[in-house]
Amino acid sequence: MLDYAHQRTIQVLKIPHKAVFVTSGPAGVQVSEVPCEAIGLELYVLLPRTSDHLFNLEQDPSVTLLTAGWVLKGKARLILPNKLHLEPGLLQAAEEEGCILGQVDPFQVHIRREQGWGFVETIDLNSPC
């Protein structure tokens, strides 16, 4: 059985299908809206093959994703679709749109208040190391 933190994170990650993806590194700060899909605690994103995000991720896998409901900090890595045990719906879109699939392993999620400003909850999942 999953603990409250994991259950709550899985619940909030399922909601959006787009997120703002932020990296920083040799290509500078890069910010893009990308399609995303969560499977459990793993979040998958589509990144264009020509994106400077890829260059940044070679140097530093730290990423931030933002949606209307949450802000997530995690580590990203690029993956080959044939290495997945579960196939997210993004796989077909990746092949059609010339994108690369990325997997983000979250270590912290801030859940936004439904009304007003600020966060109602912060969940620490794993060490960022």
Residue 98 has a pLDDT of: 76
Q: How far is CA 76 from CA 14, 32, 57, 101, 107, in A?
A: 18, 15, 7, 10, 11
Q: Where are the domains of the chain?
A: 4-124
Burial per residue of 81-96, b for 16 or more beta-carbon CB atoms within 10 angstroms, e otherwise? eeeeeeebebbeebee
* Tens digit of each residue's pLDDT, the chain (129 residues): 458 888 889 989 988 889 999 999 999 999 999 999 898 898 999 998 889 999 999 999 999 999 999 999 999 999 876 666 555 566 666 655 678 889 999 999 999 888 777 788 899 987 554
Which fold, 4-124? Pnp Oxidase; Chain A (2.30.110)
Residue 85 has a pLDDT of: 56
pTM for this one? 0.85
Residue 36, both tokens: 């995303």
Q: 73 has which bridge partners?
A: 64, 108
Residue 126, both tokens: 């794993």
Contacts for 29 with CB less than 8 Å, ≥ 6 apart: 22, 23
